[in-house]
Amino acid sequence: MNIYNVLDELSIDYKKHDHPAVFNCEQAYLLDF
């Protein structure tokens, strides 16, 4: 089961962000989205 297929079937809007792995909030904060 692909989560994106499920979201599409349920007409749920989402944004997909590709990024390197992060292991804590500090690293996530440094991502520029």
pLDDT in tens, the chain (33 residues): 899 999 999 999 999 989 999 999 999 999 877
pLDDT, position 17: 87
Per-residue confidence (pLDDT) for residue 8, from 0 to 100: 97
The three-point CA angle 26-18-33 to 5° equals: 55
Rounded distance between C-alpha atoms, residue 18 and residue 23, angstroms: 15
pLDDT value of residue 33: 73
C-alpha dihedral over 14, 18, 21, 25, to 10 degrees? Answer: -50
* Beta carbons within 8 Å of 8's beta carbon, 6+ residues apart: none
What is the pLDDT at residue 7? 97
